[in-house]
Structure 1
Amino acid sequence: MLDRRVLLGLGGAVAAGGILAWPIREAGRATAETAGAVPAAPSHHGAGHMRRMARGAMASSRQAAEPFSVRMPVPAVARPVGRTEDADLYRIDMRPSQVEILPGKTTPALTYGGTFVGPTIRATAGRKVRIAYANRLGRPANVHLHGGHVPPESDGYPMDLIADGASRTLDYPNRQDGATLWYHDHTHHMEAEHVYRGMHGFYLIESPEERRLGLPRGRYDVPIMLRDAHFDADGGLILDVEHPEARSTLLANGRPQPYFPVAARKYRFRLLNSSIYKIFELDLGGAEMVQIASDGGLLPEPVPRTTLTLAPAERAEIVVDFSRHNVGDKLVLSDAGKPVVRFDVTHRADDPSRIPDRLRTLPPLPAPRETRRLKLAVAPSKMAYAINDLTWDPDRIDARVKEGTSEIWEIYNADTVDSEFGGIDHTFHLHLVQFRVLDRDGKPPLPGESGFKDTVLVRPGERVRIQATFDGWQGKYVYHCHMQEHNVAGMMAQLEIVE
């Protein structure tokens, strides 16, 4: 049996232009030359390179920040640079930046707007947003509005890149329900590296209907981006694709295991897992977290939780009522026992917010036109991650769907524990539309999966059925595993919406 570590290394090497592991502080020039190109086969590295890797890994463990030594920031909200009758206009520069992640250290990053978590866009359902992205990165890149219902030319297709020094305006119609979306790079072969280095930010759509529910708002509505990272002694990011477990520093809004002061009242937290591989298993020390929304917006009704699984690219909105706790109490959001962020109850405050018993009514599912079956698995003959044993090819259409029709897609993870490479988790993300989870292995969806989603976790040997209605625009879109180390290594396919 081929070791899974070797497979991850090969896949990651494709993503990184043939470099298996490196401190990103040293890698910028080399990867800039290969960005957007199809890299050659993984290159061999000598003992000297491996010793440098080991020194970087050891330095990382010494540099880990003390938990709860820094405050969690809230990402800044972008301000429009102009407005028209039907649209808000923004400008965001894509550029390298020196940021502080670890206390007292400077980390080179690739960013939207100069910050490690890009500026938050707060949009209104039914009102357009147009963003002019100016590329100052020194390499080609692009932007995908994850979960957005957008025309193909604004979707961030992997081959549709913004050249260095160029600008492009993308149109987001926001003809969808209120939801926590996010934007990130989707450059072919470079997506995992670019996102790991900081090309990610929140895009929040708010609706009048949601506002009338009385949920926590304003300063009590807080987006929190969760991810992992690996640092060298100087604070530089290391992307070691052979050892994802080395990414032992957990970040909340770009800071390591921070604290966040809260009032003794209800808060709405919009949780996003922006990791390129890691699955979070979250709990609040047994305290109740009431889930009110998933990827595509509000659930039909609140779901009380004490644990929450969040796979890469998934979102979950929770309400935590801190009025049940005393001033001075500290509640820790943990990932499988490891602290992520601590909430410190510092004072009491009035709380007019509420959690209604009903949040929304979902429309009935239309009759499906057909059922498609997708297999997510390593293709041994190609030594790559694949969908239906085929790796990504931009010149091949894998599925043609008639606009306005609804289909059932059955997604099977064939990387089981007894397969050649052992059990491997995958996720499935569909561009253009939100879908509904019908069942898992014939059983009802998991708690929190009863609403609209755009990303779903598929465990080894699991079979998940979803249903989506493909309306809005004609053109080419992609679907793929959102463990980005998998999709850059082949686990991505293409659909075309036709008349």
Structure 2
Amino acid sequence: MPASTPPPTADLTKFLDPLRIPAVLRPGPDGELTVRQVSAEVRLHSQLPPTPMWTYEGTFPGPTIEVRRGQRLRVDWQNRVSTPYPALVGHVPQITAPPAENVPGIDPALLNPDGPKLPPWLVVHLHGAVTDGGHDGWTDNAVHAGRSQLSEYPNDQPAMTLWYHDHAMGVTRLNVLAGLAGMYLVRDEEEDRLRLPSGEFEVPLVLCDRNLATTPDGAPTGQLLHKTVGPLPYCGRYTLVNGVIWPHHPVQPRWYRFRVLNAANSRPYRLHLVDEANQRVPGVVWQIGSDAGLFGTPVPVGGTGLSLAPAERADLLVDFTALAGRTLRLVNSAPAPAEGTPIGETDPVGVPDPAHRLPDPEVMEFRVAPPADCAEPFALPAVVSPSFRRLSHDDIPHDHGHRMLMIHQTPETMFEFWEMEQVPEAEVPPAGTLRDGLVQLRQAGRPTATYRRVAREFNDRLNWRVMEDAWEQWTIVNLAPLALHPVHIHLIRFQILTRAACDTSAMDRTAGGTPVGRPVTWDTPAVIAAAEQGWKDTVTVAPGELVRVAGQFTGATGKYMYHCHILDHEDDGMMRPFTVSPMAVMALDPSMGPMPGHGH
């Protein structure tokens, strides 16, 4: 065992196994790929037996698909899964300390007998893709084994890190946990001109967490275990990077590029690079891009770390030049469920926190080689994307649309999306009225606005019909006292315009509204962090927070979804549809009606 490897903790030795790099798939001249969804046995750790999984092309994560901007790709996603559902599914009704889902194994009496009956009913969503609705992986359009999903991706998008994963209605959390996820990279000429580290020096890091079943004597069997406790979403004991539990990766004393994806069902990551003494390593990590493209300039990753909620991505440059011969660790300091609480520059990191579902903060280890004689060919660019521009409200066309979305938490700790419409002043009830689905909102110095709920469940009426090429501003207000929600909007990329803390004390969770005359209030918006000023497709909304995002619904049409990317929340109903249609169609189709929310 290498000297830098710590002794085993509980059951598996940390940093024992090397990081695996997924294979790369590139389309040929015909612009086509066949990707098979197949049963496979994957070794997650050398001290474990092989783990039965459902995979793309037999690996977990699936192959990294790589395309050029504008290179149209047609994928035949073939469902060839031949085995029963590979994970055990269980539930612990009461919260324990430490939280039960972090503890491997489960009482057989708590297993769900319907788990083994789950068929391989699968549909692929390319997360972040601008593609027509028929190719987006609509959640009800899953297919059984022996059939195919045919999808076309124009890839008319700037260089960015996308990913593909299963999106089947009601079972997304289980299908993704079984292994159905992979990375997808779009490249373009602007990225080429930067001459960023490439080849072996560009490394994908797909982060997720899993739990394992055990034998009667407590030894892990390698079989995946989807165990939740009470109302909490899934969090597993073991952190995996590229499908390996707590791996190590040898690096040269030079610059590297890391494409980081949080592919966990619900676990947040707040990542720090630390040294042998568990102290932060300053000044060596820079972020050059987020979910949907490159930044204008590099952003240093400081002592507060790199925060990634489920589905968020980060494009990083790391300078190991002055760290030759050192052993470094990547650690996670984010408690779960995330609340959006920041960490201080000098607060301890890399410390186990089992009470907050983080029994093992370790993610992976970097082993830096001794000094090399070769000169380093790369220098951090002062400008990353010359084409990038930061949006403000004044940059958006005057006639952009407005949508109001609220997050409600029921007394049973279930979370719901509420689509809201503004109530005309003449229809506002008398002061003191408390009505289900009626919420007032006021920004300091402005009149109170009254909203009523028009949808809360996935199959409620379709309300949001967007005109093709239209710009819209979506306001999301988290009225819930618990949980930070990563909200993903299909089809578009957007920028965050506003973050503001709200006083939600007037919200009556039992009644489902605010008394008229006692609105939810917010005052001065917070400064948007530099790492959040780029293009995104997933935005976090903390408890008691208002967030505004703006984007253009262009490049494709059809029926899409937005949803919370905590997959337990998505499967439990935090998902709603919207459509994008040509202007001429909307003008002539009487079922469309007037476009809601347009204008200021």
TM-score (norm 1): 0.82
Q: 1:79 to 1:471 in 2, by over 3 A?
A: closer
- 2:365 corresponds, among 331, 342, 348, to 342
Q: Distance in 1 between matches of 2:252 and 2:382?
A: 24
- 1:308 corresponds, among 300, 306, 309, to 306
1:18-97 map, 5 Å: 62-63=10-11, 65-80=12-27, 82-84=28-30, 88-97=31-40
- 2:249 corresponds, among 260, 263, 271, to 260
Count of residue correspondences: 427
After superposition, the C-alpha distances for 1:99-142 in whole angstroms (9 at most, x for unaligned) are: 11022421111111111100110111111111111111252211
Match for residue 42 of structure 2?
A: 99
**Cα pair 1:148 1:172 within 8 Å, conserved:** yes
Q: 1:358 to 1:79 in 2, by over 3 A?
A: closer
**Cα pair 1:182 1:201 within 8 Å, conserved:** yes
Q: 1:185 to 1:392 in 2, by over 3 A?
A: farther
Q: Distance in 1 between matches of 2:165 and 2:234?
A: 23
Match for residue 55 of structure 1?
A: none
Deviation, structure 1 residue 379: 4.1
- 1:238 corresponds, among 198, 218, 225, to 225
Q: 1:319 to 1:384 in 2, by over 3 A?
A: closer
Q: Distance in 1 between matches of 2:412 and 2:249?
A: 49
Deviation, structure 1 residue 292: 0.4
User: Do residues 378 (structure 1) and 409 (structure 2) align?
Assistant: yes
Q: Distance in 2 between matches of 1:241 and 1:234?
A: 19
Q: Distance in 1 between matches of 2:201 and 2:492?
A: 29
Deviation, structure 1 residue 371: 1.8
**Cα pair 2:498 2:547 within 8 Å, conserved:** yes
Match for residue 443 of structure 1?
A: 526
Structure 1: runs of 5 or more not aligned: 1-60, 417-422
**Cα pair 1:96 1:108 within 8 Å, conserved:** yes
Match for residue 270 of structure 1?
A: 259
One-letter code of the match for 2:379? R
User: Do residues 187 (structure 1) and 168 (structure 2) align?
Assistant: yes
One-letter code of the match for 2:37? M
Match for residue 209 of structure 2?
A: 228
User: Do residues 425 (structure 1) and 372 (structure 2) align?
Assistant: no
Deviation, structure 1 residue 75: 0.9
- 1:413 corresponds, among 472, 478, 491, to 478
Deviation, structure 1 residue 244: 5.3
After superposition, the C-alpha distances for 1:437-468 in whole angstroms (9 at most, x for unaligned) are: 11211223223111100001111111111001
Deviation, structure 1 residue 213: 1.1
Q: Distance in 1 between matches of 2:415 and 2:459?
A: 16
After superposition, the C-alpha distances for 1:288-324 in whole angstroms (9 at most, x for unaligned) are: 3100000011011100013111100000111110002
**Cα pair 1:396 1:494 within 8 Å, conserved:** no
Q: 1:387 to 1:101 in 2, by over 3 A?
A: farther
Q: Distance in 2 between matches of 1:475 and 1:153?
A: 7
After superposition, the C-alpha distances for 1:392-435 in whole angstroms (9 at most, x for unaligned) are: 4346313111111101111111112xxxxxx2221110000100
Q: 1:246 to 1:433 in 2, by over 3 A?
A: closer
**Cα pair 2:234 2:265 within 8 Å, conserved:** no
Match for residue 126 of structure 1?
A: 70
Match for residue 357 of structure 1?
A: 382
Where 1:292 maps in the other structure, the secondary structure is: strand
Match for residue 161 of structure 1?
A: 142
Deviation, structure 1 residue 146: 0.4
Deviation, structure 1 residue 266: 0.2
Query: Bigger CA drift: 129-138 or 237-246?
Result: 237-246
Structure 2: runs of 5 or more not aligned: 1-8, 82-118, 214-219, 275-279, 334-349, 351-360, 420-452, 501-524, 583-600
Q: Distance in 1 between matches of 2:122 and 2:133?
A: 16
**Cα pair 1:330 1:342 within 8 Å, conserved:** yes
Match for residue 19 of structure 1?
A: none
1:460-479 map, 5 Å: 460-479=543-562
Q: 1:246 to 1:162 in 2, by over 3 A?
A: closer
Q: Distance in 2 between matches of 1:206 and 1:474?
A: 24
**Cα pair 1:300 1:450 within 8 Å, conserved:** no
Q: Distance in 1 between matches of 2:313 and 2:415?
A: 28
Q: Distance in 1 between matches of 2:405 and 2:559?
A: 18
One-letter code of the match for 1:257? W
Where 2:547 maps in the other structure, the secondary structure is: strand
Where 1:234 maps in the other structure, the secondary structure is: strand
Q: Say what the alpha-carbon RMSD is for the aligned residues.
A: 1.8
Q: Distance in 1 between matches of 2:561 and 2:235?
A: 30
Q: Distance in 2 between matches of 1:102 and 1:484?
A: 25
**Cα pair 2:235 2:266 within 8 Å, conserved:** no
Query: Bigger CA drift: 296-305 or 71-80?
Result: 71-80
Q: 1:283 to 1:355 in 2, by over 3 A?
A: same
**Cα pair 1:378 1:386 within 8 Å, conserved:** no
Deviation, structure 1 residue 367: 1.6
Q: 1:367 to 1:289 in 2, by over 3 A?
A: same
Q: Distance in 1 between matches of 2:458 and 2:413?
A: 13
One-letter code of the match for 2:315? E
Where 1:70 maps in the other structure, the secondary structure is: coil
Over alpha carbons, which structure has the higher Rg?
A: 2
Deviation, structure 1 residue 383: 4.9
1:211-226 map, 5 Å: 211-226=192-207
Deviation, structure 1 residue 387: 3.4
Q: Distance in 2 between matches of 1:261 and 1:270?
A: 17
**Cα pair 2:406 2:418 within 8 Å, conserved:** yes
**Cα pair 2:234 2:266 within 8 Å, conserved:** no
Q: Distance in 2 between matches of 1:141 and 1:387?
A: 28
Match for residue 519 of structure 2?
A: none
Q: Distance in 2 between matches of 1:398 and 1:100?
A: 46
Where 1:211 maps in the other structure, the secondary structure is: helix
User: Do residues 366 (structure 1) and 396 (structure 2) align?
Assistant: yes
Q: Distance in 2 between matches of 1:299 and 1:379?
A: 38
Q: 1:354 to 1:382 in 2, by over 3 A?
A: closer
